[in-house]
Structure 1
Amino acid sequence: MVVGDISTGTEVLVIGAGPGGYVAAIRAAQNGLDTTLVEKDAYGGTCLNHGCIPSKAYITGANLAYDAGHAEEMGIHADPVVDMAGMREWKNGIVDQLTGGVEKLCKANGVNLVKGTATFKDDSSVRVAHGGEGQGSETITFEHCIVATGSRPMQIPGFDFADEHVLSSRDALALEYVPDRLVVVGAGYIGMELSTVFAKLDCEVTVVEMLDDVLPGYEDDVARVVKKRAESLGIDFHFGEGASEWREGNDGGIVVATETEDGEESTYAADEVLVAVGRRPVTDTLNLEKAGLEPNEKGFLETDEQARTDVDHIYAVGDVAGEPMLAHKGSKEGMVAAEVIAGEPAALDYQAIPAAVFTDPEIGTVGMTEGEAEEMGFDPIVGKFPFNASGRAMTTGHTDGFVRIVADEESGFVLGGQIVGPEASELVAEVALAIEMGATLEDLTATIHTHPTLAESVLEAAENALGQAIHTLNR
């Protein structure tokens, strides 16, 4: 028997329970608004279930196994055996705990949870189709709507994720085994993170990239540190090549074919091919035109500083709202949208959104580079401190990379920072706070940092910018 369509109403409807959506729903409910959250898959979205959290779990596991097996210099001799199925089970346990936590938090804050796929009927209602035979559907009317449908991996011609040997990042994070040979298409942050994971798990990794270097969008000297380390792990890079097709090989594996702009072809043997060329927003499932919305040429919903779309009472947050496609950016947008709906004077301020890449070593960046500061009319001064001069970094066995601080020479205000090295994803938070609060180089140098720590490197870089460095030569 099929349950008939029913109709309910809510003040705030949130579509999608990822980092932007569930945060928006909780904040709206905290502000006393009747809030309904619709999710078709799992609470926490791609980030928690198939992206950020699973990948960091595997990165931690791979790092632990690799470091234990390569610590002879410390007097440690070990030969770790990796049980990939066991690691996957551990990872899934973390995900399950966190998704369950999100659901409990939503319920505890009074959010109405609805499982299903939402599509707009008009600009004040959606139809939610419930999964499963006989589950029916319902219509939900709303006063305000927050679209937080996230993004999905991009496919390329000739490489269908439905094919047996073609993996998306989601597929790669669900593997119960380590392939002997893996071709990775794309040297962006996802491709580089996963390449490093599999290389450390004794997989033979080949990366093909259409551009001429790894990590486009990051400064050359930052990317160079990561690339050099990746090569030392045995990762084989081929730049200026686009993947054109794959086919079954003669040895039970596959062959991935590539082509340069000049038409030169190459082939690489593998057992699996991972396509990691980026992500695109999920807007094509919503019937946006019914709500009077139209995505831009890249598929994003354009928004203002309060996360509003062109339809005043409909908001968009997270990946669906455009670059940078970062979970923490989506969460902040979700908070702002909910607070604006509640009548609070909230707005987005993008001057300090940190970004991190969990490669080896990690990258953490925030604010302006030196070149960007010059383009904005500043006269920048730059301070730099190498991790090979850090006592704490030396005791961890990880000394690649550096901390760089960019500031305005006249005022001393911190404008940006680039960190590549151990725990960069954690260290960048201090620089982000400095930018957000309008701190100066003097503020950073006047802050006593614990010794011995990696965080001292931020202090040292600030002192270097002022020409007062103690533990490195002043520039």
Structure 2
Amino acid sequence: MVVGDIATGTDVLVIGGGPAGYVAAIRAGQLDLDVTLVEDDAVGGTCLNHGCIPSKALLSATDVAHDAANAEEMGIHADPAVDLSGMQEWKGGVVDQLTGGVEKLCKANQVNIVEGRAEFAGEHEARVVHGGEGQGSETIEFEHAVVATGSRPIEIPGFAYDDEPVLDSRQALALDTVPDSLVVVGAGYIGMELAGVFAKLGTDVTVIEMLDQALPGYEDDLARPVKKRAEELGVEFHFGQTASEWHHTGDGTVTVETEPAGGAAADGGEQAEVEDAESEDAEDEGLSLQAEKVLVAVGREPVTDTVNPEAIGLEPDDRGFLQTDEEARTDVEHVFAVGDVAGEPMLAHKGSKEGQVAAEVIAGEPAALDYQAIPAAVFTDPEIGTVGLTAEEAEAEGFEPMVGEFPFRASGRALTTGESDGFVRLVADEESGFVLGGQVVGPEASELIAEIGLAVELGATVEDVAATVHTHPTLSEAVMEAAENALGHAIHTLNR
């Protein structure tokens, strides 16, 4: 203990107040444990304050403006004016409402919230340093600890986030003026979501990706409609390239230099096409791209260095993650890790479930993690939702997959919304009929994937899904029709 510290004790110390941490704290409080939650920024973490919620707010707002301006086919003619500062004020109100709600829930469940940065100081001891001059520090003794410190944007060499034109996702989401032009480094889900936001606001957007397609890691037929829609919005793509440096051009813009990604580009095909005005072959030479701002969105890394893990015997792996078992427990018996620090997939809802499990295990309740039915969503235009196994993954695991699909162009509800790109795909086991997974690209995919996730979790069969009467006309009918298609008796599409 440091001289001058205030010493307190708690049953459960939760380090980090994001969706994983605050869920762990609230659930532990519900189970009558004494809980202390330490957060050094704002309760709600990156997700509520600077990530998931702010980005979806801007996505929704820009969709309203874009849809209104492009609804001539429906007989609607409009030219909406966008006030980005006003949009940011509205977004801030949404964030404040949610974070305020989380704080109230914590207090209602007797969670003691402490502002500061916590780091381990011994086997059952942590030191919390409070921000601000003269605020001091305190020592907290605990029986159990839950590490929920989240993740941060990966910074690439030569593109420091404290350089004014270079932005991480948090800074991009806080802009109150629309940049005329933007280079996005990385075509993953963050890069593609924000590329869409700014393209709909009128920004000239160029995306650089070292691999051979947008949204690498997703199946090609899921990513293709997203790339096509982005190109329709004016987004330009350069694949097989990495950003190497940037420099000011003297007129309020910067020039971003790229170089070939060293063999990462594909041999060809629609996804690997590179349109380069300076060079016919972007794989052989780099590019010079001019823009007002540069958004670096190449992924996120776990934040474990701030908690002094060595002091309690924790050893992060070579990527910085803390390894855990099915109870969210680390190698140190009384220490748990939840959320992004516990490894892939780095999803808020996965972290929340881990936080709940950790709290219940600490309280002596039977609880364990089951990752087979954790969905993932990309909030691009159109959206992507996935859960469980793909057909290829199912085959690799020894199943004989049966697959059913239904295109949104055959959905009456999709056509009435003007959004009919994409499809629903259901993957099941031929022998047993059990639903193994599904993939959706199209309108409201992030919502539709929940039904398939429930089928996987419950061990439902494809016959169960097909036999469930769905309201007409709805987008969810596409899930039923995909199940019927797998069985060979879909009504509103040709059977496979």
Place the TM-score, normalised by the shorter chain, in its bin: over 0.9
Aligned to 1:160: 160
Say what the alpha-carbon RMSD is for the aligned residues: 1.0
Aligned to 1:418: 439
Aligned pairs for 1:61-460 (under 5 A) are 61-260=61-260, 261=262, 264-460=285-481
Aligned partners of 1:38 and 1:149: how far apart in 2?
10
Aligned pairs for 1:11-22 (under 5 A) are 11-22=11-22
Deviation string 1:3-53 (CA, Å, 9 cap, x unpaired) is 931100000000000000000000001001001000000000000000000
Give 1:383's aligned amino acid. G
Aligned partners of 1:411 and 1:165: how far apart in 2?
56
Q: Secondary structure at the match of 2:372?
A: helix
Give 1:45's aligned amino acid. G
Aligned partners of 1:266 and 1:227: how far apart in 2?
20
Aligned partners of 2:442 and 2:408: how far apart in 1?
7
Equivalent of residue 466 in structure 1, options 464, 468, 487: 487
Q: Secondary structure at the match of 1:255?
A: strand
Q: Secondary structure at the match of 2:13?
A: strand
Aligned partners of 1:181 and 1:125: how far apart in 2?
50
* Unpaired stretches in structure 1, ≥5 consecutive residues: none
Q: Secondary structure at the match of 2:184?
A: strand
Aligned partners of 1:51 and 1:421: how far apart in 2?
22
Deviation string 1:298-331 (CA, Å, 9 cap, x unpaired) is 1000000000000000000000000000000000
Aligned to 1:41: 41
Aligned partners of 2:295 and 2:490: how far apart in 1?
45
TM-score by length of 1: 0.99
Give 2:56's aligned amino acid. K
Deviation string 1:211-260 (CA, Å, 9 cap, x unpaired) is 01011110010011111111111100000000001100143211111000
Aligned partners of 1:109 and 1:127: how far apart in 2?
24
Deviation string 1:272-311 (CA, Å, 9 cap, x unpaired) is 0000000000011111100100100010000000000000
Aligned partners of 1:101 and 1:136: how far apart in 2?
28
Give 1:269's aligned amino acid. Q
Aligned partners of 1:114 and 1:265: how far apart in 2?
49
The alpha carbon displacement at 1:263 in A equals 6.2
Aligned partners of 1:247 and 1:32: how far apart in 2?
57
Aligned partners of 1:156 and 1:141: how far apart in 2?
38
Q: Secondary structure at the match of 1:259?
A: strand
The alpha carbon displacement at 1:446 in A equals 1.1
Give 1:170's aligned amino acid. R
Q: Secondary structure at the match of 1:352?
A: coil
The alpha carbon displacement at 1:70 in A equals 0.2
Aligned partners of 1:119 and 1:145: how far apart in 2?
11
Q: Secondary structure at the match of 1:4?
A: coil
Give 1:180's aligned amino acid. D
The alpha carbon displacement at 1:265 in A equals 1.9
Aligned partners of 2:392 and 2:47: how far apart in 1?
32
Give 1:347's aligned amino acid. A
Give 1:295's aligned amino acid. P
Moved over 6 A (4+): none
Aligned partners of 1:351 and 1:323: how far apart in 2?
13
